[in-house]
Each structure stands twice: as C-alpha cells, then as structure tokens.
Structure 1
Amino acid sequence: MSKASPADIMPLADVMARLRDPDSGCPWDIEQDFASIVPYTIEEAYEVADAVERQDMDALRDELGDLLLQVAFHSRMAEQAGHFALQDVIDAITQKMIRRHPHVFGDGARREDGHAQWETIKAAERAEKDPDPSALAGVAIALPALLRAEKLQKRAARTGFDWPETDRVIDKVVEELEEVRDATTPDEREEEVGDLLFAVVNLARHLKIDPETALRKANGKFDRRFRSMEDMAGDAFAGLSLDEQEALWQRAKQLEKGV
C-alpha cells in the first residue's frame, strides 16, 4: 500500500476494509457493531481533549488519529450494511460547512453575521429532518449529561427563557443547594442534586465557562493534590485522622501555589 499524501485518508478506509473482511480480517474487528464501538469513540474524543489540555502536540497528533480511526470504523460498518461509505461522510461534512458559511463561500455576505447565519441555517436544516417543533428538538439524549444540560439551556435561551442577570443564576444555585439540604428521602436527594448540577451548568454558561472543561480541570487538580498528600504521608496516609489529612491537603495546595 502506498504512503498516503497529507490530504488522503482513503488508505485508512482500505485498512478498515481489510480488518473487517469476513474471511481474512481481524476477528475482534469483524465482530464489532455500532453499539460496541461507541464507547471507544467517546473515549477517543475525551483523549483528544486531554491532549489539548496538556498542550501535548505529539499526543494530540496520535489521539486525532485514533479518533479518525473511529470515523473510518463506523463508516466501514455502514458501508457493509449498505448505508454509506467514508467518502460519503467526507462529502457530506464538506458540503455542510460550505452551506453553513455563506458569509465565506457566498457572494458579498457580511462576515460579522457569520454566527447568526450559521444558527439560522442549522435550525432550518434541523426542521427539515425532524418534525418535532420544539426548540429543544435534536439535542441528543445520549450526550454526556453536562453537555446536554448546556445545550438544552442554550436552545431554551434562544426563545427568551433565560435569566437576564448572572446574579439571578447564582441565587438559583443557592436555592437549589438549600433544597438539597432539605431533602429527606433518597429519591428527593437525587432529584435535588440533579437540579443543583443543572443550575451550576447554567451558571457556567452565563459566565461563558465550559462546564466540562472546568470539571475536568477540577478533577486534575484534585488528582495532583491527593497524590501530593499521599507522597507526604507515605504508607501512613490511610491511617491518618480526617483533620490530619485536611492539614496535608492544605499543605498540598500551598506547594502547588509555590508557597
């Protein structure tokens, strides 16, 4: 097989065709279906995000390749089922990007109107595909919960259903936190915690913060500080009192800040 040119991803389609060949392919690849591959697709997308977060360009190159492999994998399975092939995916997204950017590819449209045009065209395309008249139509149920909450809120906000000031959103977060405190049954607590998380996502949106990115950074910070605590205490860590562990946590924070 010849080496692919920088813009040629079709050799990847050839590799997937070989892997999925019923007679001579890889047994693991052959037995996969769309549902079994989806978790890998999601995982690879998060690994791309992780490489970006770490600003590791070598890792980003590799993770983008892994994500591209997922596109080729799904496309090959679809081709075998008679639905579409990788080239159809490429053609469709190419045409979509051209269609949704008339301010770039059209004649004389104002560039500063680009985002508004994108949303208008996207809404029209969605209306053609989905008879659901709701402003929330098309927000996938399978999205990660934080992302789906943000998308639902953005869609609702376009209709005017949104708090006008950030302070009102903060008040709502405090209100939901109090309702968590007042909940008395497991079902009530689950519902109120869900409402609290939804309100926090809304606050992030008003502050123009991506909640997934913020939580991922918080996870990373906790990971670093906890490991630092373990390093300081050694094997004795698990046997320390909560107050002693808290003292280590505060020391870990100071070390991270260079104090």
Structure 2
Amino acid sequence: MEKQFSDLPESRQQQLMAFDRLLTIMDELREKCPWDRKQTMESLRHLTIEETYELSDSILENDIPEVKKELGDLLLHIVFYAKIGSERKEENSYQFDIKDVLNGICEKLISRHPHIYGDAVADSEEAVKQNWEKLKLKEGNKSVLSGVPASLPALVKAMRIQEKARGAGFDWDEKQQVWEKVEEELKEFKDHFNIETNDVMDQKEAESEFGDLLFSLVNYSRFVDINPETALERTNKKFIRRFQYLEEASKADGKTLSDMSLQEMDEYWNKAKETEV
C-alpha cells in the first residue's frame, strides 16, 4: 500500500513540496521564458558539464554552502531534461517525464542491492561492488567495461576501468606488486628517453610507455586509497595559489617575472609555501 502524503513525516512533506515547487517553476519557465523555451538536450549538455565541474570545485574547497548551491543547479538541469523528455510528441519518439526518471533509478537501486531487498549476502564493500558488476552483465551489458563513458577525462577513465576490472576479480593481490609494476614502467619509459640530451629517441614509443607509467600510478593509488583525480586537482590548486603569490609579491616589490632569475622566483615560491603552513 502506497503512503499517503498526510502520513509522511513533516520533514518529508516539506521536501516533496520543495520539489513540487521546482517542477512548477520549470513548467512556467518552459512556457513563458524565451531562453528556457528555446533549450534542447543538446544545448544544455555543455552547461551541465560545467555545473558538474563547479560542484566538484566546491567539494574540493570544502565550501559546503557552495555545494548546496551547485547541487541546486544540477537538480535544475535534471528537471529540465525530464521536462524536455515529456514534450517529445513525434511519432515513435521515446517520451518520459520526471516520474519515469525517479521510478527508473528506484527500480535500479532495488535490483542492484539484492542484499538489502532480496536474499543475497554481501557483508563487505568489495562484495557489494562484485555483485553490482555481475548484475549489470545479467542486465545485458556485453562487457564489464562497457559502463565506462568514452568521454571521461583520461585520468578518471583509468580509475574507473581499473575499479570495474577489480569488480570482476581481475586485479593485483598486494600493493607491493603494483609498486613493482610502477618501477618497471618507469624503467621502460627511461629506456625510451635520452635523459642526458632530453631528446626523445622514439616519440610514439615514449608516449606509449609514459601512458603505461601513468596507468600504473593510477593503479597504485587505488591500493593506498588515494583518488588520483582529486590528488592532481589539489596539486593544481596548490600550484596556482603559490604562483599567484609569486606574481603578486614580486610585483609589490617592483619586479617583473620576465626579468627575474629562477633563483629569485624560488625565493618567492618558498615564501608562498611558508604562508600555507
């Protein structure tokens, strides 16, 4: 028997009312606003990607109020796509609305968690992941790796490929084995690169070996519970902070970067590091 709205806790009623408010506003904007009326799934796509990265930035900065804001922006996009999906009136076109989206994800979550909603047993995170991949194959996926989006950034894609392979039981046993692989790939890369002259002996082969080295480092990161994308982005942000300090501090001293030696720049760089302590 389905729950009645009046039987729900007040907090859940408020949540549903807020969601209903957003749906109502979306209906009004789609009907009355020239910009919103013009949008298509294709025109929204790049904006959705941008909003996703903005959410990622706010999470890395631990800016919780901004996380809330960016979640709202993403939720708007989901509602927007569902609204456009409900308007597909062409013959034989696939039509859906937000109800179908929500019921679809609910059904998937239930079917993918038989240890909660069925008789299966999964007493660890690893067991849950393995069950998840097995269920996806039963649902029609031709490969464990078919669920990795082709357009993912390479570093994220490497992580997801390795996680999915692990879910199928294809992985190293010990992190020491993985580190030995990193050292092996580093040696192979060095063998294809002339360190003394910095001349690439075989550009194509060196690129291939460097890719193998990066892939093995990503692999090792999993074994020490480090997300390589997050780690690299934090380093990017750290470099930006220090370099901007270098720019501002040297400018305040009447200097320009183009006229400074590397040693002079290093002095400001070290000061920037001291300000972070």
- TM-score when scaled to structure 1? 0.81
Shift of 1:168: 2.8
Identity of aligned residues (%): 37
| Aligned counterpart for 2:204 among listed residues 172, 187, 191 | 187
- 1:166-199 Cα offsets, whole Å, 9 max, x none, are 2332233233334444253443343333222212
Name the counterpart of 1:19: 29
| Aligned counterpart for 2:16 among listed residues 2, 7, 10 | 7
For the 8 Å contact 1:72–1:86, the answer to whether it is kept is: yes
In 2: Cα distance, 1:255 partner to 1:201 partner: 30
In 2: Cα distance, 1:198 partner to 1:42 partner: 25
Segments of 5+ residues of structure 1 without an aligned counterpart are none
Matched, 1:116 2:116: no
In 2: Cα distance, 1:163 partner to 1:118 partner: 16
Name the counterpart of 2:9: none
For the 8 Å contact 1:44–1:66, the answer to whether it is kept is: yes
Matched, 1:212 2:229: yes
In 2: Cα distance, 1:238 partner to 1:7 partner: 58
Name the counterpart of 1:253: 273
Name the counterpart of 1:156: 165
Structure showing greater Rg: 2
- 1:102-159 Cα offsets, whole Å, 9 max, x none, are 444457x7673576246425532443233x1x33232221222222111111222244
For the 8 Å contact 1:176–1:195, the answer to whether it is kept is: yes
Segments of 5+ residues of structure 2 without an aligned counterpart are 1-12, 89-93, 193-199
Matched, 1:173 2:185: no
Name the counterpart of 1:90: 102
In 1: Cα distance, 2:187 partner to 2:210 partner: 10
In 1: Cα distance, 2:82 partner to 2:206 partner: 43
Letter paired with 2:34: C
In 2: Cα distance, 1:92 partner to 1:212 partner: 30
Name the counterpart of 1:32: 39
Name the counterpart of 1:239: 259
Letter paired with 1:79: S
CA distance change for structure 1 residues 20 and 136 in 2, over 3 Å: closer, same or farther? same
In 2: Cα distance, 1:117 partner to 1:153 partner: 16
Question: May I ask how many residue pairs the two structures share in their alignment?
Answer: 248
CA distance change for structure 1 residues 210 and 125 in 2, over 3 Å: closer, same or farther? same
In 2: Cα distance, 1:115 partner to 1:85 partner: 34
CA RMSD of aligned residues (A): 2.7
In 1: Cα distance, 2:170 partner to 2:132 partner: 22
* SS across alignment from 1:5: helix
In 2: Cα distance, 1:6 partner to 1:91 partner: 17
Letter paired with 2:54: E
For the 8 Å contact 1:126–1:138, the answer to whether it is kept is: no
For the 8 Å contact 1:101–1:114, the answer to whether it is kept is: no
CA distance change for structure 1 residues 126 and 34 in 2, over 3 Å: closer, same or farther? farther
In 1: Cα distance, 2:139 partner to 2:49 partner: 28
Letter paired with 1:201: V
Shift of 1:66: 0.5
Identify the range of structure 1 (223-232 vs 4-13) with the bigger mean alpha-carbon deviation: 4-13
Name the counterpart of 2:66: 59
* SS across alignment from 1:129: coil
CA distance change for structure 1 residues 104 and 159 in 2, over 3 Å: closer, same or farther? closer
In 2: Cα distance, 1:159 partner to 1:110 partner: 17
Name the counterpart of 2:220: 203
